Amino acid sequence: MSLIWINGQWYDRDSAKISVYDHGLLYGDGVFEGMRVYGGRPFRMAEHLDRLYDSAKAIWLTVPIGQEEMGRVTVEGVAKAGITEGYLRHIVTRGMGDLGLDPRSCPSPTAIIIFDTIRIWPAERYEKGLSMIGAATPMPSRETLSPRVKSLNYLPHIMAKLEGIQAQMDEVLMLDRSGYVAEASGMNIFIVRRGVVTTPPAWTGILRGVTRDLVIDLVAEAGLTMREEPINRYDIYTADEAFLTGTAAEIAPIRSLDGRQVGAGPVGPVTRDLMNRFKALTRQ
């Protein structure tokens, strides 16, 4: 069942509400995290909460509950909701204020945890691979806001996603303003070529995903060479394999980009091995 915690109170999906004057709604002034639940346990909770609190600190936002207590409430909510396989969304906003931009009008931040499930694509996509298209909408400039801040403003990603929907594609590829590959609409990207796994480095303007970092470790565990370096669309077109990673997406193989088949098409051997390793890790 769906369960929502807001500033210490528990609600169901229909009764949970925040003010229309909350600056998270009015201005996207806030941060969030997505977290998976496997076997009734929040997965990589410490890493996700570290990033949530770091994101909040980076935008001068004080989370109204300590990190240790947030973890305790998260575990409690998973049990209360009866979730064994699910998805959590932690949100912290500047809180209720007035119609001006000034954050000083918001005396108390709003903290929210949603306990639910998520599915981005049909299960068959994990066997057949994703069809992707390059989006015309670029990634926001990292000089405006650090991409390491997981903020509530995802409008550029949504605009890119809409391009993919109009093209009847499963997902989109977003580039930075220099034309280098950044990420998908909410996932990191990896390519495999001649046994070498490559992903764009964090300094290029991407969100440093928790699953991304985990997969980098799995690549090393598999005995493969791992590189973090800039890539472009040519590198994906000519790759042996390519895949996306993310908390909601997990590890998802890429079948094609811009109508060009990537490698052999569906799930390559390296991607398959990493998917199996990831699944085994979530069950430990």
Which of 226, 168, 217, 166 has the alpha carbon at shortest distance from 196? 226
- Average pLDDT for 61-65: 98
Query: Catalytic site residue 57?
Result: no
CA angle 213, 85, 161 (to 5 degrees): 60
pLDDT of residue 143: 75
Please state, in angstroms and rounded to a whole number, the distance separating the CA atoms of residues 78 and 245.
Answer: 24
> At residue 127, what are phi and psi to the nearest 5 degrees?
-105, -35
Q: Is 160 left (phi over 0), alpha (psi -120 to 50) or beta?
A: alpha
142 pLDDT more than 80: no
The confidence band for 266, taking pLDDT boundaries of 50, 70 and 90, is confident
Average pLDDT, integer, range 158-169: 98
Q: Which run of H or of E encompasses 6?
A: strand 3-6
Q: In sequence order, which residues have a C-beta less than 8 Å from that of residue 17 and are 6 or more positions away?
A: 11
For residues 63 and 53, is the Cβ–Cβ distance under 8 A? yes
Residue 145 scores a pLDDT above 80:
yes
Q: How confident is the model at residue 269 (pLDDT cuts 50, 70, 90)?
A: very high
CB hemisphere CA count around 203 (13 angstroms): 3
The CA-atom distances, in angstroms, between 1 and each of 4, 90, 118, 121, 144 are 10, 17, 12, 21, 39
pLDDT mean over 76-88? 97
| Percentage of residues in the chain having pLDDT higher than 90 | 92
Tokens 């670029």 correspond to 138
Tell me the three state secondary structure of residue 234: helix
Strands 41-42, 30-38: pairing is antiparallel
User: The tokens of 276 are what?
Assistant: 């199996």
DSSP per-residue string spanning 167-181? TT-SEEEEE-TTS-E
Residue 99's pLDDT band, with cuts at 50, 70 and 90, is very high
pLDDT at 56 > cutoff 80: yes
Contact, 163 vs 133, CB < 8 A?
Answer: yes
**Amino acid letter at 100?**
G
Mean pLDDT of the chain: 96
Q: Are 135 and 172 in contact (CB under 8 A)?
A: yes
- Residue 248: predicted pLDDT: 96
Least confident interval from 103-107, 141-145, 232-236, 269-273:
141-145
39 has a pLDDT exceeding 80: yes
Q: Cα 266 vs. chain centroid, distance in angstroms?
A: 23
Average pLDDT over residues 109-135: 96
User: Which stretch of DSSP H or E encloses residue 9?
Assistant: strand 9-11
Kind and range of the H or E run holding 79: helix 67-81
Domains in the chain and their CATH numbers?
A: 3-116 (3.30.470.10), 125-282 (3.20.10.10)
d(CA 80, CA 110): 21
Q: Quote the tokens at residue 47.
A: 């890493």
Q: Which of 57, 150, 161, 279 is catalytic?
A: 150
pLDDT band at 144 (very low <50, low <70, confident <90, very high): confident
